[in-house]
Amino acid sequence: MVISIVLILIVTYLACGLLFAIPFVIKGVDKIDEAANGGSIGFRIIIIPGAMVFWPLLLKKWIKQGGHKK
C-alpha cells in the first residue's frame, strides 16, 4: 500500500515535470541561461530529463526572470 502511494506520487511529479519541460526547453531555457541561446535541438532533448526532475526550481527561476515575456 505504501509503495503504491509512493509510486503514484513519483509518477505524478514526473508527469508534471514533463508538462513543464516541453515549453521550458522551447522558450524558458533561453530566458534563464544566456549560454543556452541558440542551442541545438540535441541539446534541448538532452536537458529534458533534468528539467523534469528539477521543474519546481526551474519554474521559480523562469518566473523570476520574466516568465513568458519575450
> Who contacts 39 (Cβ-Cβ below 8 Å, separation ≥6)?
29, 30
The model's pLDDT over 36-46, given as tens digits with 9 standing for 90+, comes to 888 889 999 99
User: For position 45, what pLDDT does the model report?
Assistant: 93
- DSSP one-letter string for 33-70: -GGGTT--HHHHHHTHHHHHHTHHHHHHHHHHTTTT--
Of residues 50 and 32, more confidence is placed in 50
Q: How confident is the model at residue 4 (pLDDT cuts 50, 70, 90)?
A: very high
Q: How confident is the model at residue 67 (pLDDT cuts 50, 70, 90)?
A: low
Whole-model pTM over 0.85: no
Report d(CA 2, CA 8) in Å as an integer.
10
User: For position 5, what pLDDT does the model report?
Assistant: 97
Using alpha carbons, select from 37, 30, 14 the residue that is nearest to residue 67. 30
Rounded to an integer, the average pLDDT of 30-52 is: 89
